[in-house]
Amino acid sequence: MIIDKISRARGALTVPGDKSISHRAVMLGSLADGVTEITGFLPGADCLSTIDCFRAMGVDIDVNGDNVTVRGNGMRGLKKPAKTLYTGNSGTTTRLLCGILSAQPFDTEITGDASICKRPMGRVTKPLALMGADIENEYCPLIIHGTRLCGIEYDMPVASAQVKTAIILAGLYADGKTVIREKEKSRDHTELMLGAMGADITVDGLNITVGKTDRLSAVNVAVPGDISSAAFYMVLGSIMPNSEITIKNVGVNPTRTGIIDVLNDMGADIALHNARESAGESVADIKVRSSHLSGTVIGGNIIPRLIDELPVLAVAAVYAEGTTVIKDARELKVKETNRIRAVVDEFKKCGVDITETDDGMIINGGKPIHGADFKTYGDHRMAMSLTVLAQLADGVSTLDDADCARVSYPGFFDDFYKLGK
Ligand code: S3P
């Protein structure tokens, strides 16, 4: 696909629902007693994989655009699936399922696409094994022999909401208490949703305690727009001249807003309006206007608050005057692709002054770049970040696989080019 260029970006839009919250609403709704009505659901490929897996375990789920109805089977109501559960490209589906399936009275096998089969699952299978789980393999396909679990105390070695959630979900079934201690706070959508559904869960700073929970009560979930999708417009609106974009109804849970802090620190003009609470999650409209940006250092405990936004923040760094250092971001290596390598290799193709480091990258920005033939590595966030990058380049750029954007943002290109009209 040729990446068309726009000369400015103006207008208002809503982005599709938050991916993390959409997954959790289906999973927890499936385990709840009662009916969960989800509005604003993300009908992206990843969340549809979650729906397929729970349907395969006997849960009645209706999908109508971004409205989803889940008729929960209760904590003990899942059925043994007839075949291997297929999680597609979705790390969240795969890892969170491990926590639930470990405690079921049946065995399951899960696997996903080529990317999923390369992503480390030991980070969930190891703590789950401490709880008594019986899981074969550290890479997909995983074979999970359901069994009785017991609570553990666990210090998280990496900041990962997927790992944390897998342990929390197993903890709902385990005898005794499960205590998880985070070093850095990762997204807390699971804790918020479980609290609203009446689970035995308490959060005290970086410590989470979960008790055995026999019953979750269904709650309706209004999913806000995904800040990770809004991120592309926050950067686009900042780096394009004469631009002003309003992204309405975006989830601004403080565990997710690192991108706003960093961009404003770089000199961006981003403001939140109409801030409100919706089902325990913070929501706001985000307004962004063109600005001059300066290089910065992105590292330390802000990283979990913007981990998925680092590829597009690297685009902001290309535009910014001066040097941007991204560090403490080793986790990027185990995302849908190695996002440090992918960003560095692709950005180099169009003349960006960028150096790979062990835990991130260094970008000297504010220099002219030229068009290039980009590869996405099948990674949705690479496809969308490179589309924003191409706007800064002289000449024509192409993308080898624009379609992969549908993993988290079906309709991205339509929304993007509407802003340029
Ligand atoms: C997610 C957690 C993050 C994030 C991913 C979604 C979640 O992954 O990168 O896109 O919904 O819990 P890690 O848990 O690996 O950091």
Q: Please give the biggest Cα pair distance in the chain.
A: 62
Q: What is the DSSP letter of 226?
A: P
pLDDT digit string (tens) for 368-420? 999 999 999 999 999 999 999 999 999 999 999 999 999 999 999 999 999 99
Q: What is the mean pLDDT of residues 31-60?
A: 98
Neighbours of 204 (CB within 10 A): 8
Q: What is the mean pLDDT of residues 292-314?
A: 98
Q: From the CA atom positions of the chain, what is the Rg in Å?
A: 21
**Residue nearest (by alpha carbon) to ligand 1 atom 16:** 160
Q: How far apart are the first and last CA of the chain?
A: 19
Domain 19-208 has CATH 3.30.420.40: no
- Residue 112's alpha-carbon distances to 22, 116, 136, 141, in angstroms, are 19, 5, 15, 8
User: Can you tell me whether residue 196 is helix, strand or coil?
Assistant: helix
Give the position, in ligand 1's atom list, of the atom nearest the Cα of 165. 12
The answer, yes or no, to whether any atom of ligand 1 lies below 6 A from the CB of 20, is yes
Q: Which CATH architecture has domain 10-16+224-418?
A: Alpha-beta prism (3.65)
- Substitution candidate for ligand 1 out of 115, 187, 301 with most atoms within 8 A of CB: 187
The answer, yes or no, to whether any atom of ligand 1 lies below 6 A from the CB of 92, is yes
- Please tell me the predicted confidence (pLDDT) of residue 273: 98
- Substitution candidate for ligand 1 out of 19, 23, 26, 92 with most atoms within 8 A of CB: 92
Active site residue 204: no
Distance 108 CA to ligand 1 centre (A): 23
CA distance 209 to 45: 32
Distance 34 CA to ligand 1 centre (A): 28
Neighbours of 58 (CB within 10 A): 13
For the chain, give every residue range classified as CATH 3.65.10.10: 10-16+224-418, 19-208
- Please tell me the predicted confidence (pLDDT) of residue 306: 98
- Please tell me the predicted confidence (pLDDT) of residue 280: 87
Residue-averaged pLDDT of the chain: 98
The answer, yes or no, to whether any atom of ligand 1 lies below 6 A from the CB of 27, is no
**Residue nearest (by alpha carbon) to ligand 1 atom 11:** 20
- Please tell me the predicted confidence (pLDDT) of residue 279: 78
Q: What is the mean pLDDT of residues 179-193?
A: 97
Phi, psi dihedrals of residue 325, rounded to the nearest 5°: -110, 125
Q: What is the mean pLDDT of residues 71-95?
A: 98
The model's confidence at residue 24, banded by pLDDT at 50, 70 and 90, is very high
pLDDT > 90 fraction of the chain, expressed in percent and rounded? 99
Give the position, in ligand 1's atom list, of the atom nearest the Cα of 23. 11
Distance 405 CA to ligand 1 centre (A): 17
Q: 18, 188, 285, 308: which is the annotated catalytic residue? A: 308
The answer, yes or no, to whether any atom of ligand 1 lies below 6 A from the CB of 160, is yes
Q: What is the mean pLDDT of residues 227-246?
A: 98
- Please tell me the predicted confidence (pLDDT) of residue 278: 85
Place of tokens 């185990």: 334
The model's confidence at residue 200, banded by pLDDT at 50, 70 and 90, is very high
Q: What is the mean pLDDT of residues 42-46?
A: 97
How many residues would you count in the chain? 421
Query: Which element (helix H / strand E) includes 59?
Result: none
Q: What is the mean pLDDT of residues 203-212?
A: 98
- Please tell me the predicted confidence (pLDDT) of residue 236: 98
